[in-house]
Amino acid sequence: MELRQLEYLVAVAEEANFTRAAQRVHISQSGVSAQIRQLEHDLGATLIDRSGRTATLTQAGEVAVKGAREILASAAALRQAVEEVTGLLSGRLTVGMVTACTITALFDALAAFHLAYPRVAITLVEDNSATLVEQLRAGTLDVALIGAAGESPPGVEAHPIVSERLVAAAAKDHSLSERTRLTLGDLTGLPLICMPEGTGIRKVFEDSCMAQGLKLEITLEASAAGTVMDLAARGLGVAIVSETIAAAYADRLHAAVIDDAETPALLALTWKPTPSPAAAAFLDDCRGAFGGTISRGGTG
């Protein structure tokens, strides 16, 4: 007994005609007839009454069709369950990343996922962290790598990747180049360069200034960490960045920890509370990829 024979039996029963049943299952009429005769032989009973102009079920056939439908439904449920586990059912994975992300572990995870699940289409979206979080909550993103201030945003699940202090980075000949630590007050009156609103670094900076009752001026902003640092290296201002970003440009810029910006800038992998099968599989790849040291990263 084979699943296809049960499928043919149900088709004949529902169409009451071998020709129409054959068209429905996309094989020849003789093929349908032969397979049902084989099924009747295996079961030891006639299932279809062929004496009239229409194909009708015998009493044994009615019992067989009922059982066939149950078996086919169970087989379909099993197939769906397996596809869900392997992530093949959803067919798409939408991943967000903070603008100008240079975290190679994320790209490693994407490559590993694509290799394991080539049938899943991957879409990659780049934006600021605030927008990515809203897209996660709205269900248009499955997973996102974001920057945040102090703690993960509410309404999404999160796995922290990096938590670090803010620093002020300036050209080697800047007046701050002799300092290893400073306060926000020390930056008063200086032109500052920072990531745009909606990023974790900017929020940490603005929240820290508000807590100190300070109004410091951001004169230049750029979404890419490399651009922020290039502008500072050319003497256009002091860059407000994370420790990881500053470390990547230590050959060009001097960095000093901002002591009273105590809230850490956080880089976190975030996802919907109930991830799709594809998202769950991708998260497993991410956990493996992020298990090692993250180099030349940026906390957006």
- Please enumerate, as own/partner, the contacts of 43-48 that have beta carbons within 8 Å and a separation of 24 or more: 43/1, 47/9, 48/9, 48/12, 48/13
Provide mean pLDDT across the span 162-191: 92
pLDDT at site 249: 93
Distances (CA, A) of 276 to 50, 90, 125, 140, 182: 48, 7, 18, 12, 46
Q: Do the two domains 92-160+269-289 and 166-263 of this chain adopt the same fold?
A: yes
CATH topology of domain 92-160+269-289: D-Maltodextrin-Binding Protein; domain 2 (3.40.190)
Boundaries of every domain in the chain: 3-86, 92-160+269-289, 166-263
Write down the H helix ranges in 87-181: 104-116, 129-138
pLDDT digits (tens, 9 = 90+) for 228-252: 999 999 999 999 999 988 998 999 9
Determine which of 37-46, 69-78, 89-98, 102-111 has the lowest per-residue pLDDT on average. Answer: 89-98
pLDDT at site 255: 95
What is the sign, positive or negative, of the torsion defined by CA atoms of 95, 101, 103, 107? positive
Residue 188 is classified by DSSP as T
Closest by alpha carbon to 294, among 242, 236, 253, 233? 242
Most confidently modeled range among 108-122, 247-261, 280-294: 247-261
Position 86 pLDDT exceeds 80: no
Position 224 pLDDT exceeds 90: no
Provide mean pLDDT across the span 94-102: 83
pLDDT at site 276: 82
Q: Residue 221: which pLDDT band, with cuts at 50, 70 and 90? A: very high
**Its pTM surpasses 0.75:** no
Of 2.40.70.10, 3.10.620.30, 3.60.21.10, 3.40.190.10, the CATH number of 166-263 is 3.40.190.10
- Rg for the chain (alpha carbons), in Å? 31
Q: Residue 172: which pLDDT band, with cuts at 50, 70 and 90? A: very high
